[in-house]
A and B are shown apart, each in its own frame.
Chain A
Amino acid sequence: DAGVIQSPRHEVTEMGQEVTLRCKPISGHDYLFWYRQTMMRGLELLIYFNNNVPIDDSGMPEDRFSAKMPNASFSTLKIQPSEPRDSAVYFCASSFSGGRNQPQHFGDGTRLSIL
């Protein structure tokens, strides 16, 4: 059974460019989470979806960040325009019904470097 799949694994781009991160959750999972991990701030929840609907985006740092989930098997996190301080590892995770209290399955992340 395939786990959560994220792409790309690494992204290096220049400041001001648009960045799109992609995630395919585990089939049958109805919760999808986007996290950002840095040494300074640890693991931060950016946004999460339930049945493709955004439920809580209070963790999205600013309007430059947006996330979509057009169907149950695909989600994107977009940064436009990107800034050096956005450099981090971005994780997607999914979980089965039961809310945010249930174990989450993480992808291996996208390591983003903004020059």
Chain B
Amino acid sequence: SQQGEEDPQALSIQEGENATMNCSYKTSINNLQWYRQNSGRGLVHLILIRSNEREKHSGGLRVTLDTSKKSSSLLITASRAADTASYFCATAYNNDMRFGAGTRLTVKP
């Protein structure tokens, strides 16, 4: 399906470590987006990467996209406790956008 699937479902790391979350999908995309959701809050858009882009940076975030493998990764460098949240990828194609089930990231102080 078009819907992205995040991997792993849950990730626990120490503050200062890097966190990598992956998203795989099965169909074509126009773009792929990453969102963060803090507990009890709505989703917040982090970054959008177009299908013709391979890598993008925003703040301490690095996103890669490999359309041949139909996968994307989100890297948070030097994580902080405040990065504890759920992270979702969303695949967009032909005026349709689908969210994955998310990765729950816990950053321990």
- Which residues on A are within 8 Å of B, measured CB to CB? 4, 42-43, 91, 93, 99-101, 103-109
CB under 8 Å from chain A, chain B span 64-108: 88, 92-93, 95-97, 99-102
Contacting chain A: which of B11-19, B20-28, B36-44?
Answer: B36-44
Q: How far is the CB of A113 from chain B (nearest CB, A)?
A: 14
Which applies to chain B's interface (DSSP): helix, strand, loop or mixed?
Answer: strand
* Partner of A106 from B42, B48, B96 at Cβ < 8 Å: B42
CB within 8 Å of A: which residues of B?
30-31, 33, 40-45, 48, 88, 92-93, 95-97, 99-102
**Cα–Cα distance between A4 and B92 once the two chains are bound (Å):** 21
Q: A106 — which chain B residues lie within 8 A by C-beta? A: 42-44
Q: Which chain A residue shows the least CB distance to B97?
A: A100
Give every chain B residue within 8 A of A100 (Cβ-Cβ).
Answer: 92, 95-97
How far is B54's CA from A90's CA once the two chains are assembled, in angstroms? 34
State the Cβ distance, A39 to closest chain B Cβ, in Å.
Answer: 10
Instruction: Kindly name the residue among B43, B44, B99 whose own CB sees the greatest number of chain A CB atoms within 10 A.
Output: B43
The answer to whether B41 touches A103, judged by C-beta atoms less than 8 angstroms apart, is no
